[in-house]
Amino acid sequence: MKKFYFIGFLILLAFDTLAQVGFKLAATNTAPAALELAWLMKVVTEGWIYVAVAGYLGAFVTYMTLLKHAPIGPAFAATHLEIVTVSIVSYYFLGEVLTPVQMLGGLFIIGGIVILACEKEKEEHQIEAASEKSLVDAL
């Protein structure tokens, strides 16, 4: 089951990142925004908008599937990893600057998720041990 979670979270992360980067590229390609029909037509014909929408739909379906099986805490926390992945993708492929504060923030996000995952695993082991003990006591 843990392999299912891991793969599911990676898929969720990929869809989330795709959606955010797609919106970023669509916004860049259709700038400046204006309340005009010409700008709206520019947005409607921008391919990255459809990539972004597909990414959001994929993320939604993946997240709903994960919530059926995965614990809510790690599932919710994993959705915040896209901040880190979008920053990295934007740095390498879009030429954006990553400041030391942003890098530190990304490390805090990753660290928090790792701590949450470790605590969840520790909690599961305690529950298993308590179940085994009560089963032995019942015999």
Report the predicted TM-score, pTM, of the whole model to 2 decimal places. Answer: 0.79
Reported as a single tens digit per residue, the pLDDT across 101-112 is 999 999 999 998
Distance CA 59, CA 11 (A): 8
Confidence of residue 52 (pLDDT cuts 50, 70, 90): very high
Average pLDDT over residues 18-46: 95
Q: Per the omega criterion (within 30 degrees of 0), is the bond before 32 cis?
A: yes
Reported as a single tens digit per residue, the pLDDT across 16-27 is 999 999 999 999
**DSSP three-state, residue 98:** coil
Tokens representing 110 are 């990753």
Average pLDDT over residues 47-72: 93
Contact 77, 116 (CB under 8 A): yes
Residue 82 burial (CB count, 10 A): 23
Tokens representing 104 are 């530190």
